[in-house]
Amino acid sequence: MKTKKYFILLIALLLANITMGVTAQNSTITKVDSTIAISTTAVVSTAQVVPINNANRSNYIMESFNKFVQSTGFALMDWKYALMIFIACLLIYLAIIKQFEPLLLLPIAFGMLLSNMPGAGLFTPEIFAGGHVDWNFFANGGGGLLDFLYLGVKLGIYPCIIFIGVGAMIDFGPLIANPKSLLLGAAAQLGIFITYLAAIGLGFLPREAASIGIIGGADGPTAIFLTSKLAPELLGPIAVAAYSYMALVPVIQPPIMKLFTSKKERGIRMKQLRSVSKKEKIIFPILVTIIVSLLLPPATPLIGSLLFGNLLRESAVVERLSKTVQNELMNITTIFLGITVGATATAGTFLNIKTLEILAIGIVAFSVGTAGGVLLAKFMNLFLEDKINPLIGSAGVSAVPMAARVSQVVGQETDPGNFLLMHAMGPNVAGVIGSAVAAGILLNMLA
């Protein structure tokens, strides 16, 4: 009982102290300046107290609800956003259900989906308008998540890292064993330069035409690298076109291959490739890097990254680094690259006549590149004793290793016992080098 009494007494003292403190504070405020002081009594007497009733409460609730509704993406939605969301979902379908290059197409499609969510503010195209970065926007605390990740594309970081990983996964042995493959890889880049001239004829600026033409190389990182430097405003549609056509290699290439070859030519069996020594595989990336970099300095970032990755693989002294760039580093960069490239395909930049023209010209570029490799192989057979199966010429585009697999599949339709995969890998890896060289030439001309 005593404890209870002491507790009640303590509470009473605390309340008394608080009351005295408030009174003293009010008294002090009143005495500060007699000319402007306002007593608490005057305040209470002059203040207009708004009674809280059911009507006011209902108005407040309705205003809050209306504000919430107006801030939702549904209220900001229009047909452009809806169409872009549909396109993104279609690409997701192709990546998951049809498995068209899902490692790249799925991140690109989801990036497109995120950047076209009305009001989300994940990507701000205005920051990168005119091909420049508005650093003040970032310095002042602006920018969404995808804006920051996109800097890796804008500064040319992601494509080079991807090339390191690609180089570490590529075996250049088939190319070294059959140097003629290098010519087939070069011929497949014909689509790039023919499309470049055609795009200029259609009214595109030279820089835009070069960015569109590079689609013909079927090399996504190279297309992104070149476009980010020459025509960044076209990065969204060009990246989507490049990766979409890479994914559609098994659909686009076979009809072209069959159109330009006879059944007899498709049945040509090639001699087994010679074995390539470890010394040759180590010298190759070093030598090619030196030659290409001295000849075309703008191509050095891509070529150097590609062949550095290959040297990690072939040297056999840094296995841990080789595995890292092939797996963890490659996977992380692929996610960032894909999702940010997809984010550039906003409704404002993607839904216009120019985008449709880019998609149409891009497939022509890819088709011409495929045909160029096949036709050069047929031409070379006029002079070679050991004939080349023209089907491997189509693998000169840079879609590694999908294009080589297509050559194998089409060849076995004619002769199930004909194995062209390793022969096709020669032009295929040569195409990777060829597309980087083509990008260097265009940068040298136009940058």
Burial class, 80, CB count within 10 angstroms (exposed 0-12 / middle 13-18 / buried 19+) = middle
pLDDT tens, 360-370? 898 988 899 99
| Residue 263 lies inside a defined structural domain of this protein | yes
Mean pLDDT of the chain: 85
**Exposed e or buried b for every residue in 146-178, given b needs 16+ CB within 10 A?**
bbebbbbbbebbbbbbbbbbbbbbbbbbbbbbb
Mean pLDDT of 296-323: 95
pLDDT at residue 100 greater than cutoff 50: yes
Q: Band of the pLDDT at 20, cuts 50, 70, 90? A: very low
Amino acid 31: pLDDT = 41
Q: Band of the pLDDT at 68, cuts 50, 70, 90? A: confident
C-alpha–C-alpha distance, residues 175 and 188, integer Å: 15
- Closest listed residue to residue 363, CA positions, set 241, 239, 247: 241
| Residue 129 lies inside a defined structural domain of this protein | no
pTM as predicted: 0.80
| Residue 404 lies inside a defined structural domain of this protein | yes
pLDDT tens, 127-185? 887 667 888 888 888 888 899 999 998 888 999 999 999 999 999 999 999 999 999 99
Torsion of CA 194, 196, 197, 199, to 10 degrees: 120
**Half-sphere exposure in the Cβ direction for 81 (13 Å, CA):** 13
Please tell me the least confidently modeled range out of 60-64, 190-194, 391-395. 60-64
Please tell me the least confidently modeled range out of 19-23, 201-205, 214-218, 316-320. 19-23
Q: Which has more pLDDT, 315 or 102?
A: 315
Q: Which has more pLDDT, 44 or 120?
A: 120
- Joined together, the tokens standing for residue 434 give 């060829």
pLDDT at residue 38 greater than cutoff 60: no
Mean pLDDT of 200-205: 91
| Residue 57 lies inside a defined structural domain of this protein | no
| Residue 240 lies inside a defined structural domain of this protein | yes
Mean pLDDT of 272-299: 95
How many folded domains does the chain comprise? 1
Please provide the size of the chain in residues.
447
pLDDT at residue 10 greater than cutoff 50: no
Amino acid 32: pLDDT = 38
Mean pLDDT of 88-100: 89
Please tell me the least confidently modeled range out of 3-17, 226-240, 412-426. 3-17
C-alpha–C-alpha distance, residues 193 and 215, integer Å: 10
End-to-end CA gap in the chain: 92
Helix 319-326 to helix 157-169 angle, to the nearest 10 degrees? 120
pLDDT at residue 300 greater than cutoff 50: yes
Amino acid 8: pLDDT = 54
| Residue 85 lies inside a defined structural domain of this protein | no
pLDDT at residue 9 greater than cutoff 60: no
- Closest listed residue to residue 409, CA positions, set 175, 184, 250, 178: 250
| Residue 138 lies inside a defined structural domain of this protein | no
Q: Band of the pLDDT at 57, cuts 50, 70, 90? A: low
Quick check: 439 and 191 in contact, CB under 8 A? no
What residue numbers bound the domain in which 308 lies?
Answer: 150-446
Amino acid 30: pLDDT = 39
Amino acid 359: pLDDT = 87
Mean pLDDT of 49-75: 72
Please tell me the least confidently modeled range out of 323-332, 345-354, 402-411, 429-438. 345-354
Q: Which has more pLDDT, 336 or 233?
A: 336
pLDDT at residue 399 greater than cutoff 90: no
Amino acid 22: pLDDT = 40
List the alpha helices (DSSP H) in 170-262.
Answer: 173-177, 181-187, 190-201, 206-213, 220-230, 235-247, 249-259
pLDDT at residue 45 greater than cutoff 80: no
Q: Running DSSP on this structure, what letter comes out for residue 400?
A: T
- Joined together, the tokens standing for residue 332 give 């992380």
The residue whose two tokens read 């990336």 is 285
| Residue 101 lies inside a defined structural domain of this protein | no
**pLDDT > 70 fraction of the chain, expressed in percent and rounded:** 87
